[in-house]
A and B are shown apart, each in its own frame.
Chain A
Amino acid sequence: MHEVHGDAVTSTAQSIRDRVRKAIKGQKQKTVTVLSCLLAVEDELGWIPAEAVEEVAEFTEATINDVWGVVSFYTNFQTQPLGKHRMEVCWGPTCHLVGAQKVADQVLKSLGLPSEGTTADGAITLRYNTCLGACSNAPVVSVDHHLMGRMTPSHAADAAERLKRGESIGGGHAS
């Protein structure tokens, strides 16, 4: 893919590398590791491109293999670009008990997805989460890091439709 597009992609790759380097160097804590660098890259780009693996390996004097080993271990790291918006549905036991499965099924239906993944237009990525931490207000969904508690299938559908129309969504209750 890189060879086909020539200059345009080279410059994109270059800007990715610049952003990655800046993220790696901008870490607040003193203990800088392979994992901390990768988390900084994820904060900056939302995903971990191959260029980032190389940059992290060079910066931390680790091997490319070591870095891939860490990327492939933690479930938050994605090696494909994500959609512009990110929707997460919690399926922890509390959410499960109070109706998360129906919420998840509705979101999948609204987004036209068979399971976790990104919509065909690349706009919205749906992921399941093991616990979003707001169990006392279950079931919980998060949209672009905004938590939404006491979700119902219809409110989840509403949130998905609004996302599809490109509206921004704040956190809050469904009911």
Chain B
Amino acid sequence: MPPNFAELKSAAQQRQQELSSKPWIRVGTALCGKAAGADAVIAALKSELQKRHMQATISEVGCLGPCFAEPLVDVSAPNTPRVVYHNVTPEMACHIVQSHLVHHKPAADLALGVVDAGGVMPGLAKLADHPMMKGQVRIALRNAGHVDPMDIYQYIANDGYAALHKALTSMTAEQVREQVTKSGLRGRGGAAFPTGTKWNFLAVSKQPVKYVLVNCEEGDPGAFNDKGILESDPHSLLEGLILSGYATGAIKGYVFIRHGHEGPIDRTWKAIDQAYELGLLGKNILGSNFGFDAEVALTGDSYVAGEETALMEAIEGKRSMPRYRPPFPAQVGLFGKPSNINNVKTLSYVPQIILKGGDWFASIGQDKSKGTAILCLSGDLKYTGLMEVPLGVTMRHVIENMAGGSRSGKRIKVLQTGGPLGGVLSGDGMDIALDFEVMAKAGAILGSGGIIAADESTCVVDLTRNLVAFCQYESCGKCFPCRTGMSHLLEVLERICRFEGTAQDLELMRSVGQSMQAGSLCGHGQLGFNPVSSALKFFGSEFDQHLRDKVCPTGRCNEPWNPPVKTRRY
């Protein structure tokens, strides 16, 4: 007999007390932490603690947000402040142990900031006052970097599974859907479709077997927030998934992740295993009549697998090529059964929406864009990383204040938002609000939340060539306007970058772009001209310089260009 919810809560509190009764060291080991060398830091911490015969817990946590400062080591101990140290090397790790844990004196010169407790130490700023952390509203990322993603009890101790318990004991499926509708939540995968409406489409189907699918394909270069959530707090996604199953009458959920990303995959599996153990998945969840199963499904390397119908093809084990619609997935989906597909970020909001009510979520954001934007900042920025801000803040605020402007101090020239198909924005147009409608009107998309910034040393024609090379490489090949159109566009752009282009080339690209838009089944082909059209709109004169004057103002195009070998065989 699995424990009931009250028992789980008290076990979780006990676990939390155990953790805070002795030194606790949290090390960021999401992709950002790993790339910065977190593994070596952990090894150093372990050997230092062993050498000193010290009892301390080392937790591999996810991404706290300031990826630019990784490896991050977050140290707390009874009666000392909790401090986050940045850019930690193995040598620094030993020094931190000595200073913070042996002498109870935080190593102020190595600190990024104080998280909480014990009052602010002289000379140590609050982490919450760091430009990148200030003004964040963390809903989906509330636990990221704070809890051990492999420990379900830490999630439960932080309001975890309380929403599921609330829904199963006091709400009907319809009431859950009502709250989601009321919240104004819209899909964060890129299309911004109202989530409540989508759930209603599936709920009306009377078929006994229905599925809910989570999309963490996330092949967008510049986007790492879905992977970030799964690495940092997989249970918030899992709880959202179980709630969506309850709300729509589905019997099983699939979390769809790209093969090779061990962090998100292992942590999601662990979360699923633990949820089964504690009766939060399987039959009679928390003693109710509701049963739900979940598992991870992997895809191979294919960007288009992130498109919802292609995703279903991949889970069925086939080539991930989009299906013709109608019928829509809510009627005929995975294995022919009615299905819903939601993005990781979308579902990760749901537990808090159910717990605090749809009105609470709808009070954040502006107009038809409710809640927060989970942004991945990368490129020529002083502070890169993962952040969650209320929708409605301006791009300028995010780029200049929160991300600290460019690393070089030069003007930000171009922003690439919402994945390669989202196109580019001029750095002069940063006064727009992060809002689905406002962004679309400006000719960009908020999409999955990736923002790549580049300073004045960037050649936009070269950047466009890179974006189109990606789209060409990743076309699944099903629709020929996309398959051959992308190749044409790349060929023309390569010619322009070699200063061999002619004025007619722009017309040629526009005509190819029109065919792609009209003749492709999915967004990859339909939006595939966006990188070129947006670049022409904002940086037309730069194309002219390449075409007419045969110069690249930044010199970037004089350097070699070796795109990868196209390995896909249609």
Please give the residue numbers on chain A whose beta carbons come within 8 Å of chain B beta carbons, in ascending order. 28-31, 33-39, 42, 60, 69-70, 72-77, 90-98, 101-102, 104-105, 108, 115-116, 127-128, 130-138, 140, 145-150, 170-173
Contacts and interface: CB of A to CB of B under 8 A. Distances in A.
Interface in B360-416: 376-380, 384-386, 416
Contact of B467 (A74, A93, A135): A93
B528 to A, nearest CB: 15
Contacts of A170: 37, 39-40
B113 to A, nearest CB: 18
A92 B31 CA distance: 15
A75 B565 CA distance: 11
Interface stretch (B47-55, B136-144, B220-228): B220-228
Interface stretch (B146-154, B243-251, B309-317): B309-317
A108 B565 CA distance: 13
B242 to A, nearest CB: 17
Contact of A135 (B269, B298, B378, B563): B378
B32 A134 contact: yes
B161 interface: no
7 contacts: A36-B298, A116-B564, A130-B221, A133-B31, A135-B378, A138-B378, A145-B262
B35 interface: yes
A98 B378 CA distance: 10
B76 interface: no
B224 A146 contact: no
B260 interface: yes
Contacts of B529: none
A30 B295 CA distance: 8
A127 B416 CA distance: 25
B379 A94 contact: yes
Interface stretch (B10-18, B284-292, B299-307): B299-307
Contact of B466 (A77, A91, A108, A140): A91
Contact of A75 (B262, B301, B458, B562): B301
Contact of A173 (B35, B227, B385): B35
Given A29-B297, A91-B564, A115-B562, A137 B36 contact: yes
A91 B301 CA distance: 15
A130 B376 contact: no
A94 B221 contact: yes
A104 B560 CA distance: 11
Contacts of B458: 97
A159 to B, nearest CB: 13
Contacts of B380: 97-98
Interface string B221-237: 11110010000000000
Interface of B: 31-32, 34-40, 67-68, 70, 218-224, 227, 254, 259-262, 269, 295-303, 314-320, 376-380, 384-386, 416, 420, 450, 452, 454, 458, 463, 466-467, 470, 473-474, 476, 559-565, 567-569
A74 B261 contact: no
A133 B224 contact: yes
Given A35-B314, A35-B318, A149 B32 contact: yes
A31 B294 CA distance: 11
Contact of B36 (A91, A105, A127, A173): A173
A131 B219 contact: yes
B35 A33 contact: no
Nearest to B420: A93
A86 to B, nearest CB: 11
Contacts of B416: 93
B466 A93 contact: yes
Contacts of A135: 221-224, 376, 378, 384, 450, 452
Contacts of A70: 300, 317-319
Given A31-B254, A92-B221, A93-B466, A60 B317 contact: yes
A60 B317 CA distance: 10
Given A28-B295, A74-B320, A150-B35, 19 more contacts: A28-B296, A33-B318, A36-B297, A39-B259, A42-B259, A73-B319, A74-B301, A75-B300, A93-B222, A93-B470, A94-B379, A94-B452, A131-B222, A133-B218, A136-B378, A136-B385, A136-B386, A149-B36, A173-B37
Nearest to A67: B317
Contacts of B40: 170-172
Contacts of B467: 93
User: Which residue, B317, B318, B319, B560, has most C-beta atoms of chain A within 10 A?
Assistant: B317
B475 to A, nearest CB: 12
Contact of B34 (A69, A104, A128, A146): A146
Contacts of B569: 72
Nearest to A38: B300
Nearest to A40: B298
Given A115-B562, A170-B37, A34 B317 contact: yes
Nearest to B218: A133
Contacts of A93: 221-222, 416, 420, 452, 463, 466-467, 470
A69 B450 CA distance: 32
A57 to B, nearest CB: 12
B315 A33 contact: yes
A120 B301 CA distance: 26
Contact of A29 (B223, B259, B296, B378): B296
9 tightest A-B contacts by CB? A33-B317, A172-B37, A74-B300, A92-B221, A149-B35, A136-B67, A128-B564, A147-B35, A134-B35
